[in-house]
Amino acid sequence: MSGAQPNAEDVRSLALALGFDLVGIADPRPSSETRRFRDWIGAGHAGSMHYLAEGVEKRVDPRLVMEGVRSIVCVGLVYDPGARGPERPGSALIARYAGGEDYHGVVAERLRALALALEALARRPVRSVAHVDTGPVLERALAARAGLGWIGKNACLIHPRLGSFLFLAELFTDLPLDFDTPIGDHCGSCRACLDACPTGAFPEPGVVDSRRCISYTTIELEGSIAEPLREGHGTRVFGCDICQDVCPWNVRTRREVPADTKGLRSRLAPRRSWRAPDLAWILTLGEQAWRAATRGTALRRAKRRSLLRNALIAAGNSGDAGLLPLVRAHASAGDPCLEEHARWALVRLERTGSDGSPE
């Protein structure tokens, strides 16, 4: 490595040695994403995530996130990119990232190690602030600026070799580092993600209307999910990967996953209980059982009530008449939101044809 003043190559070597798969350096000054984000907020696409608007000034100007920031180290870590097996009858789907150890802690641990390594190399105090899907940071925009990929039509960051199943994180630092060059857009005329979305969450390429996005409705939204969107949920109870699963760049990824030299991917891999959880099991989870089952995972982001609501929708879409007794129990459990979703599911299940699918 170089002398006392770390340079961009030093940062890259340290980050890769700590287990990250991608690393780049971004300019902290505002970019063209500023207007796009303001327009997105103004169009109401954030839904009930009002905190996004409240931190808008910092989000569009990273220099307000940390005083004296001179460079932003952006890192990416591949997670669970393998092909899913066939869906088992009566099982639920959860987003690939959610069933293992909570990525916030795993990635933050590595970022702290990176900050300490940079300080040791510099032989002086190095001011830094770490963000892992936390705080007022436009992560995908910064990652794109740092050359980690381009923002695709599904609004995900896509790397040409590693695809989009990536955890992104940033280390704001006062180190003066050379910035990386952005990668051009390689989506071309492909519409796979836009056409595959079952709830029509893309009003235009690269723009997500959260109010129609399954990830938002199953995780962030509290209360009732709009009835016209429910069938599109299928059996998804936490998050959604459809727009990534159909992306041609992720088909490539399944052949090019980097070696898990630091064991990070094994920590992030879904626990056995969440790989294809039974809807019947979820529908019977009491508060204590839910706490035990979700402890240490990102599944805690959605409260137990939301998970049950989502499972009731999934039951209604499953065509599994064997779930009727459990759904009926929720239809008279005393929670207005769950009762309403249970009644919807009952109507669909009671119409289940002899072929096992809703008529």
Just list the catalytic residues. Answer: 133
Q: What is the DSSP string of 205-257?
A: TTB--GGG-HHIIIII--SPPPHHHHGGGTTEEE---HHHHT-HHHHHHTT-P
Kind of pairing, strands 93-94 and 236-238? parallel
How far is it, in rounded angstroms, from Cα 81 to Cα 68? 37
Residues 6+ positions from 323 with CB-CB distance below 8 Å: 90, 279, 280, 283, 315, 345, 349
**Structural contact between residues 150 and 158, judged by C-beta atoms closer than 8 angstroms:** yes
User: How many H-runs (helices) and E-runs (strands) does the chain carry?
Assistant: 17, 8
**Structural contact between residues 79 and 60, judged by C-beta atoms closer than 8 angstroms:** no
Closest C-alpha among 174, 62, 180 to residue 119: 174
- Residue 114 backbone zone (phi > 0: left; psi -120 to 50: alpha; other: beta): alpha
How far is it, in rounded angstroms, from Cα 106 to Cα 18? 12
Angle at 201 between CA 75 and CA 150, to 5 degrees: 30
Residues 6+ positions from 140 with CB-CB distance below 8 Å: 151, 155, 156, 157, 168
